[in-house]
Amino acid sequence: MKPALIVHGGAWDIPEELTDACKNGCQRALAAGWSTLSRGGHALDAIEAAIIVLEDDPVFDAGYGSHLNLDGRVECDAIVMNGATLHAGAVSTLHGMKNPIRVARAILENCPHMMLVAEGAERFAREQGIALCNPEDLISETEREAWLKCRLDKHAAEHHRGHEQGTVGAVAIDQNGNLFAATSTGGTCCKLPGRVGDSPLIGCGCYADSEAGGVSCTGYGEAIMKIVMAKTAVDFLRQSVVCVDSPHGASCEPSSAQLAAREAVHLLAKRTHATGGLILLDRHGNPGFAFNTPRMAYGYVALDGNFVTAV
């Protein structure tokens, strides 16, 4: 089949002056993933390559440039999921890890468990030959300044919107039909140490099922968890999409990737009054995306092979 790839750099109130940087980041992530997929490579290699580009880019909230927690430390979460086996590898509250997606992949491939956190995840990473870095090396000046402001605000949690930035994600299908989805994040600014958001939780920040499609979410984790948004979107793909507002849940339109994405975000707004977004590929590789934030950074490879990016 024809390979497919979609990426995102988060749904938030992206200021005008950052739109080019966000677009460029998505473009480079697509290029990294597509160089593998277009040569017949595996979707897992492609998705890891795409996420590493996004984690390394300080304009996004993942890896280097992540938001800082209340103690002023970077604490990262990541997940990657295999749509064929429904197996996932996830990590949470990682310190000193430049590319958390690499640890998530190592868990997916080499661990009897699906999720490791904190010291246990760091020990597993070392055993897998993935080096830790100095945690200070993950802190960007922009984020240190944002943290200083956030820390002075006693109601930082309620005002998290002012400190939002983009979680990153990707979904890929290779020529053999292997489908993978992945999400990586530094979480919310001034989060309590030990806080786990939606991103590394299977079904919340990420889900993949080769029978339906793959999803990566972005937005306010505490709300996304309430509606298990990634799995909900995959279920919308699997069935004909149910209109959230239609009487007695009657079917609206025949299922389509774009409709499933919109309905999942619609449900987020309706049931939690929160903001967020998602990207997805249906099992045929059709892209879908939706958000109810002012902007979302995303990109996908169109049918003609051109990269489409938008903010």
Residue from 36, 93, 167, 272 carrying the catalytic annotation: 167
Name the minimum Å distance from CB 90 to ligand GLY. 13
Q: Is 187 in the site for ligand GLY (CB under 6 A)?
A: yes
d(CA 121, CA 119) in angstroms, rounded, equals: 5
Q: Of the candidates 99, 218, 232, 272, which one interacts with ligand GLY according to CB under 6 A?
A: 218
Q: Which of 41, 203, 221, 299 binds ligand GLY (CB under 6 A)?
A: 221
> By CB under 6 A, is residue 219 in contact with ligand GLY?
yes
* Residue 185 binding ligand GLY, by CB under 6 A: yes
- Which residue, 165 or 178, is less far from ligand GLY as judged by CB? 165
Nearest to 54 by CA among 87, 10, 104: 10
146: left (phi over 0), alpha (psi -120 to 50) or beta: alpha
DSSP string, 120-187: HHHHHHHHTT-----GGGG--HHHHHHHHHHHH-TTTTTTGGGG----EEEEEE-TT--EEEEEEE--
Q: How many residues bind ligand GLY (CB under 6 A)?
A: 11
Choosing from 167, 178, 216, 255, the residue that interacts with ligand GLY (CB under 6 A) is 167
Q: Is 3 in the site for ligand GLY (CB under 6 A)?
A: no
Rounded to an integer, what distance in angstroms lies between the CA atom of residue 256 and that of residue 277? 17
Binding range to ligand GLY, per CB under 6 A, among 98-106, 125-133, 218-226, 291-299: 218-226
Stretch that binds ligand GLY, among 174-182, 212-220, 228-236, 256-264 (CB under 6 A): 212-220
The span from the CA of 22 to the CA of 7, in Å, is 11
Q: How many residues does the chain have?
A: 311
Considering only the C-alpha atoms of the chain, give the largest distance between any 2 of them, rounded to a whole number of Å: 55
Looking at 18-26, 35-43, 68-76, 215-223, which segment touches ligand GLY (CB under 6 A)? 215-223
Among candidates 86, 73, 8, 75, which has minimal Cα distance to 47? 8
List Cα–Cα distances, 143 to 65, 124, 204, 271, in angstroms. Answer: 6, 28, 26, 31
275 is catalytic: no
Within 188-207, which residues bind ligand GLY (CB under 6 A)? 188, 197-199
Nearer to ligand GLY, 49 or 189 (CB): 189
Catalytic residue numbers, as ranges = 167
Name the site residues for ligand GLY (rule: CB under 6 A).
167, 185, 187-188, 197-199, 218-221
